[in-house]
């Protein structure tokens, strides 16, 4: 056993409530970060408070709360640290990012993503997000994604008229003047729904035929 | 009294128009539909569905939002009873006896009594709002900046006391919330604060983005950690209408729950959240045989459910009369109102009587609708609840993303919900509660504004808060309850309310 881990164990033995202890440290860091972030703002006087006054003092109070938590973590017994899942948060963040980057053109510096609209962003979010759990099955997620996106297109685009981009910008430009956007939307939604239903039908038939893949069916129960 | 009747008459005339009744109905229906999904509480539901009201006129939009709110509340109770998963904090207590009733084949009666109790509580709360609206608005007119600041401090003090767990952690959460609220352009000087030169932070953090991250995405992450143990009541739903004996048993609990919930709901500072817990504890204390509780006692459903609904509605009082949102849901309502150009506060009643009274009347209509639509639709909710979580959460995720994107058409908002989702997940893991933080965020900007004004008026003399009698009393109350929460004996009592439940 290395010296470092022995040392770590010794400090852990002194920390009686690891959860409060670590939470306190995070708060102290957050407070210091706040003080630093507000440091360039004029604080003014009580009679005429500047923009920096409130953030400065609130950040100090956060740091104080944090230090008290650290101290109680050393003195009083309390809850231990909880285990963190990594797969869930990472996948969900990835899914949300995929949606944000594809829904409409987004530029960072000189690089820009093409705007692909809900018709791509929606299924991407559902399929990628679905992998946050180890139970994910690709075909099931794809069916869900197609049907949900078709429904959302009709609900948000057609019925509610929300200004959410539905199709890729390139496609909209190509179709403009030739096909009314409403018709395009309904056609698109119908196409997605048909694809989803066809896959669903295929899957049902294949599960009926082969007994090797008899995973319990979610949608049927 | 005649005034009250005339006002309510005006309200019903507005709320009963075909368009508004339809919107109220749709709101209740969609709200229940989303609220039934496990892990999706009213806050996430409203943040998700906010954009669908954008195209409507202000009165219709607020009526629909209020409907969504009650629907989501009721949907949460349905989930609590049928699957033992509380949609949000306030329906935790309902799982205790409600789910036991469901396992005994009395799910229908539990749902029925919850609906009837909620309807009764809603009726009382509607009358209470109508009665208190005018006098409280007059009170608001004598409030200066110092009083407003003191009132908000008191609200935050309540939020600390009413939060679960450590007082210190709740205080820290409120402060972090206030700090987050300071991000963005300073309203008075126009100077950018803590934006790090990032363009999307110039306007500050949108409240719905924060709420969606903390209550929508973080909740998904938390649920993913737990291996699924959903036990949908296998037994029959049974009949929905409670028998006379059931009603007789539940009636006193409903009355007490309504009173407790209504009073706590008016308090600024998440009071409505405590209602169900307090009602459950009271019922258990008063019961002749407390051991029945936790084994399917009907009072254990009727009391908390009435308290829940009464509090959900009386929480509108501070918002509509003083312009102070007492909890996160009301803060979302503020957002919706500002989108339609209405400034919540004492002016609403005089400038937009149609909106004010129409919304109040629609609350009662909404409660009636929940009673009528939900009981027959229970079968559909049961089927929806059988969809496994591995398919449900990607759908919730997509709705969250679409909802947030539609509010401002900003991809950065969507990215921020991911960031706040991970942040919220961390908070849960470290034993912090996100609710006080959200309240701190809501009140942060308002507090700073009033603090500045009060101090400018007094030329920098901080004693002004103690010299003005109303603000001194409010500060005293805030100080007393905080001190009380820290006293060991009282603290044990407070913990008992939460753990017993």
Q: Residues B112-167: pLDDT tens digits?
A: 888 889 899 989 998 888 888 778 888 777 888 888 899 888 888 888 877 767 78
Among the partner-chain residues B224, B414, B432, the one whose CB lies closest to the CB of A100 is B414
Decide if A89 and B193 are in contact by the 8 Å CB cutoff.
no
Number of domain units in chain B? 1
pLDDT at A217: 42
pLDDT at A220 over 50: no
- Which of B411, B448, B453 best tests the A interface by mutation, with the highest count of A CBs <10 A? B411
Reported confidence tier of residue B227, pLDDT bands at 50, 70, 90: low
Neighbours of B143 (CB within 10 A): 18
| Cα B234 → chain centroid | 31
Q: What is the average pLDDT score of chain B?
A: 84
pLDDT at B394 over 50: yes
Choice between B408 and A61, residue whose per-residue pLDDT is larger: A61
Decide if B430 and A22 are in contact by the 8 Å CB cutoff.
yes
Residues of B in contact with A116 (CB under 8 A): none
pLDDT at A66: 92
Decide if B179 and A23 are in contact by the 8 Å CB cutoff.
no
Closest CA in chain A for residue B395: A126
SS (H, E, C) B407-470: HHCCHHHHHHHHHHHHHHHHHHHCCCCHHHHHHHHHHHHHHHHHHHHHHHHCCCCCCHHHHCHH
Instruction: Provide the token pair at B167.
Output: 């007082």
Q: Are B14 and B357 in contact (CB under 8 A)?
A: yes
Residue with tokens 């539990």: B110
What was the ipTM of the complex prediction? 0.84
How much is the average pLDDT of B364-387?
83
Choice between B1 and A22, residue whose per-residue pLDDT is larger: A22
Please give, rounded to a whole number of angstroms, the shortest distance from the CA of A137 to a CA of chain B: 9
Decide if A92 and B51 are in contact by the 8 Å CB cutoff.
no
pLDDT at A212 over 70: no
How much is the average pLDDT of B71-81?
86
Decide if B221 and A129 are in contact by the 8 Å CB cutoff.
no
Chain A, chain B: beta-carbon pairs less than 8 Å apart = 200
> Is B417 in the A-facing interface, judged by CB distances under 8 Å?
yes
pLDDT at B497 over 50: yes
Give the rounded percent of residues in chain A with a pLDDT score beyond 90.
Answer: 26
DSSP string covering B144-159? -HHHHHHHHHHHHHHH
pLDDT at A208 over 80: no
How much is the average pLDDT of B15-38?
89
Please give, rounded to a whole number of angstroms, the shortest distance from the CA of A179 to a CA of chain B: 25
Q: Which of A165-174, B221-230, B361-370, B389-398 has the lowest mean pLDDT?
A: B221-230
- Report the distance separating Cα B222 and Cα B201, nearest Å: 27
Closest CA in chain B for residue A153: B402
Reported confidence tier of residue A33, pLDDT bands at 50, 70, 90: very high
- Which of B22, B152, B179, B201 best tests the A interface by mutation, with the highest count of A CBs <10 A? B179
Closest CA in chain A for residue B227: A133
For chain A, list the strands marked E by DSSP: 106-108, 111-113
A 1-40 near B (Cβ less than 8 A): 19-20, 22-23, 26-27, 30, 34, 37-38
Residues of A in contact with B459 (CB under 8 A): 47
- Which of B164, B401, B449 best tests the A interface by mutation, with the highest count of A CBs <10 A? B401
pLDDT at A139 over 60: yes
pLDDT at A147: 92
Reported confidence tier of residue B89, pLDDT bands at 50, 70, 90: low
pLDDT at A1: 42
How much is the average pLDDT of B7-16?
86
- Report the distance separating Cα B99 and Cα B260, nearest Å: 23
A 169-208 near B (Cβ less than 8 A): none
pLDDT at B234: 56
pLDDT at A14 over 50: yes
pLDDT at A209: 63
> Is A136 in the B-facing interface, judged by CB distances under 8 Å?
yes
Decide if B460 and A47 are in contact by the 8 Å CB cutoff.
yes
pLDDT at B448 over 80: yes
Which residue range(s) make up the domain with B46? 2-500
Decide if A164 and B191 are in contact by the 8 Å CB cutoff.
no
pLDDT at A97: 93
Q: Please tell me what DSSP assigns to residue B228.
A: P
Decide if B448 and A20 are in contact by the 8 Å CB cutoff.
no
pLDDT at B56: 86
Among the partner-chain residues A47, A58, A93, the one whose CB lies closest to the CB of B179 is A58
pLDDT at B496: 61
How much is the average pLDDT of B173-183?
92
Residues of B in contact with A79 (CB under 8 A): 431
pLDDT at B232: 60
| pLDDT tens track for A59-92 | 999 999 999 999 988 888 777 788 777 888 999 9
């Amino acid at each position: 056993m290395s010296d470092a881990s022995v040392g770590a164990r010794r400090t852990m033995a002194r920390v009686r409530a690891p959860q409060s202890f670590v939470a306190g440290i995070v708060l102290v860091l957050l407070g210091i970060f706040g003080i630093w972030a507000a440091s360039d703002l004029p604080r003014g006087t009580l009679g005429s408070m500047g923009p920096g006054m409130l953030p400065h003092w609130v950040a100090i109070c956060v740091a104080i709360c944090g230090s008290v938590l650290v101290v109680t973590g050393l003195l009083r017994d309390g809850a231990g640290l909880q285990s963190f899942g990594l797969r869930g948060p990472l996948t969900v963040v990835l899914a949300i990012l995929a949606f944000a980057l594809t829904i409409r053109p987004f530029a960072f510096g000189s690089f820009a993503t093409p705007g692909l609209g809900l018709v791509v962003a929606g299924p991407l979010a559902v399929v990628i997000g679905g992998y946050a759990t180890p139970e994910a099955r690709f075909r099931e997620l794809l069916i869900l994604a197609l049907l949900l996106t078709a429904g959302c297109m009709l609900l948000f685009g057609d019925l509610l008229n929300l200004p959410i981009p539905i199709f890729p910008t390139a496609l909209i430009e190509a179709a403009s003047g030739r096909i009314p956007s409403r018709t395009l939307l309904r056609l698109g939604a119908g196409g997605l729904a048909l694809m989803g239903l066809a896959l669903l039908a295929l899957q049902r038939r294949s599960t009926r035929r082969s007994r090797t893949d008899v995973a319990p069916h979610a949608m049927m129960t | 009294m005649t005034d009250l009747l005339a006002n309510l008459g005006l309200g019903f005339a507005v709320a009963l128009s075909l368009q508004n009744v339809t919107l109220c109905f749709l709101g209740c229906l969609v709200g229940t539909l989303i609220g039934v999904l496990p892990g999706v509480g009213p806050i996430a539901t409203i943040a998700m569905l906010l954009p669908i009201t954008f195209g409507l006129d202000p009165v219709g939009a607020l009526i629909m939002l209020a409907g969504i709110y009650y629907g989501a509340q009721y949907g949460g109770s349905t989930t609590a009873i049928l699957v033992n998963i509380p949609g949000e904090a306030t329906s935790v207590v309902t799982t205790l006896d409600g789910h036991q009733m469901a396992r005994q084949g009395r799910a229908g009666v539990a749902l029925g009594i919850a609906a009837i109790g909620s309807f009764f509580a809603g009726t009382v709360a509607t009358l209470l709002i109508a009665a208190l609206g005018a006098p409280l608005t007059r009170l608001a007119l004598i409030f200066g900046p110092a009083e407003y600041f003191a009132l908000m401090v008191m609200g935050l003090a309540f939020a600390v006391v009413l939060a679960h767990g450590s007082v210190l952690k709740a205080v820290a959460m409120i402060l972090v919330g206030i700090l987050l609220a300071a991000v963005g352009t300073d309203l008075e000087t126009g100077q950018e604060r803590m934006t790090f030169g990032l363009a999307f932070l110039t306007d500050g953090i949108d409240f719905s983005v924060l709420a969606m991250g903390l209550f929508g995405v973080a909740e998904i992450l938390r649920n993913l950690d737990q291996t699924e143990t959903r036990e949908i009541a296998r037994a029959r739903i049974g009949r929905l209408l409670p028998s006379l004996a059931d009603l007789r048993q539940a009636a006193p609990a409903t009355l007490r729950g309504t009173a407790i919930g209504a009073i706590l709901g008016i308090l600024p500072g998440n009071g409505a959240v405590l209602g169900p817990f307090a009602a459950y504890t009271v019922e258990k204390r008063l019961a002749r045989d407390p051991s029945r509780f936790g084994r399917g006692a009907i009072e254990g459903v009727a009391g908390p459910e009435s308290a829940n609904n009464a509090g959900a509605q009386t929480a509108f009082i501070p918002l509509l009369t003083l312009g102070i949102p007492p909890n996160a849901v009301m803060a979302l309502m503020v957002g919706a109102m500002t989108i339609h150009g209405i400034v919540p506060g004492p002016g609403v009643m005089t400038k937009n009587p149609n909106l004010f009274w129409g919304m109040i009347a629609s609350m009662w209509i909404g409660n009636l609708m929940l009673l009528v639509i939900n009981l027959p639709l229970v079968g559909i909710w049961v089927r929806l609840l059988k969809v496994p979580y591995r398919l449900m959460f990607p759908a919730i995720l997509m709705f969250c993303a679409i909802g947030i994107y539609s509010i401002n058409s900003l991809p950065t908002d969507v990215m921020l919900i991911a960031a706040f989702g991970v942040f919220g997940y961390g908070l849960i893991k470290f034993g912090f509660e996100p609710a006080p933080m959200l309240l701190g965020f809501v009140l942060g900007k308002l507090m700073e504004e009033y603090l500045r004004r009060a101090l400018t008026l007094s030329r920098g003399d901080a004693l002004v808060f103690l010299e003005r009698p109303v603000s001194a009393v409010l500060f005293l109350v805030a100080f007393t309850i905080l001190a009380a929460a820290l006293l060991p004996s009282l603290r044990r009592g407070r913990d008992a309310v939460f753990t017993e439940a």
